Amino acid sequence: MSKYTENFWVFKALNGIVDINFNTEKSIEEFCNFVLSGLKKSGHTGSNFRNFRLLDTSMNDSYTILQSTFRKANEIRAQNENSGGIQILLADPYSEFARNRAESISKNPFQQPMSPIKKMEDGLEQIIVSMRDLAETQQRRALPSCMEGVKPKLEFIHKYGKDFGLRLLLYSDVPSGPMYFFQNILLKGRFCVGESAVNLPWMMIIDDPNCSKDFYNVFSDEFDRIWERSEEENYQYPREKKLKAEETRIRELEQEISRLNEELKIFRSQANSEENQPQLKNQITRGLGTLVSTVVEVMDHAQRFLFTWQLFVILIGLLVAVFVGVGSKIDFNQLLPKPTPPQ
């Protein structure tokens, strides 16, 4: 982009906004064409080229964008090896943000439901394919094969990405929306309940060099804050340990529920004796109270990484277990206060 062209776009822009695409057809092709038009406009007249910076949840539908970004960044690095780097931020698939985002989109009947893990694996695969394509076109050494799974793909990218000026980190913060920085051009999307960002309006924003607080700089600062936090924490891999801890606790609580069910079965077998009724009434009441509180704790832990429909299945399963073990035999009328007869 020449200095004249850059000044023209800055002059034409309204508060830095060059264009807005509404993607009324909800088309991946229309979205990609808009992003690529921003990439084509991008450039910088100074000698210090800024990096290409991409923030998204998974980039699982962005192959064309990734491929073009890698090629343009490579052209810049050919002129200046210290320029043309690519920074990518993706959401940790085990984070609450990724889980809530995937759950929200899955509620849309026109969107294909997909787990955060699957979305990330697809996105990582597209990054690796873009690396392979660039390696072939530049007649570089062929990249080795990569195993399936999120962790092997991340290991592959961390190992070979540096040859392409690529660094990838994960985040668990809640950003304002996806952001694609192509040097002095920003493509800015947004997150909306029940809708993929691809189907929502995107803004094309240019950096006004004469303004330090324009839209471009506001979102650029947001990207840098998230990147710095992820870099400080060396956030290169999903935090599976946190998930494993939740799963372990759920298994322990399931065992506790089974134990409580067994105790209530014993109370049931003793309930036929009239003399034991008052004592058993208190024991059963306490047992049911403990059982309910345990079920609540199971739900609390499970909701941190399961979708609503999975929670519903777990809840129904637990209630059925309680009913089979207790409810079919205990006379719950004995546990309820009797109404006072009218005088």
The domain boundary residue, chosen from 179, 204, 238: 238
| Alpha-carbon span 128 to 146, nearest angstrom | 9
Please report, to the nearest 10 degrees, the dihedral formed by the alpha carbons of residues 294, 297, 302, 304 taken in order: 180
Q: Does 342 map to a domain?
A: no
The domain boundary residue, chosen from 199, 222, 238: 238
Residue 28 has pLDDT above 50, yes or no: yes
Q: What sections of 273-307 are H helices per DSSP?
A: 277-302
pLDDT, position 331 = 44
Domain co-membership, 102 together with 228: yes
| Alpha-carbon span 34 to 63, nearest angstrom | 14
Let me know if 177 is exposed, middle or buried by CB neighbors in 10 A (0-12, 13-18, 19+): middle
Q: Does 313 map to a domain?
A: yes
* Residue the block writes with tokens 């090629």: 71
The helix (H) or strand (E) run that includes residue 181 is strand 179-182
Domain co-membership, 269 together with 314: yes
Residue 1 has pLDDT above 90, yes or no: no
- CATH code assigned at 208: 3.30.870.10
53: helix, strand or coil: strand
Q: Does 340 map to a domain?
A: no
Domain co-membership, 231 together with 293: no
DSSP at 251? H
Write the pLDDT tens digit of every residue in 302-341.
555 555 555 566 666 666 665 555 544 444 444 444 444 5
Write the pLDDT tens digit of every residue in 282-308.
666 666 666 666 666 666 655 555 555
Range of the domain at 283: 241-335
Whole-number average pLDDT of the chain? 80
* Residue the block writes with tokens 């509180």: 293
Q: What is the number of domains present in the chain?
A: 2
Domain co-membership, 156 together with 100: yes
pLDDT, position 337 = 43
Q: Where are the beta strands (DSSP E) in 25-67?
A: 52-56
Write the pLDDT tens digit of every residue in 68-94.
999 999 888 888 777 779 999 999 998
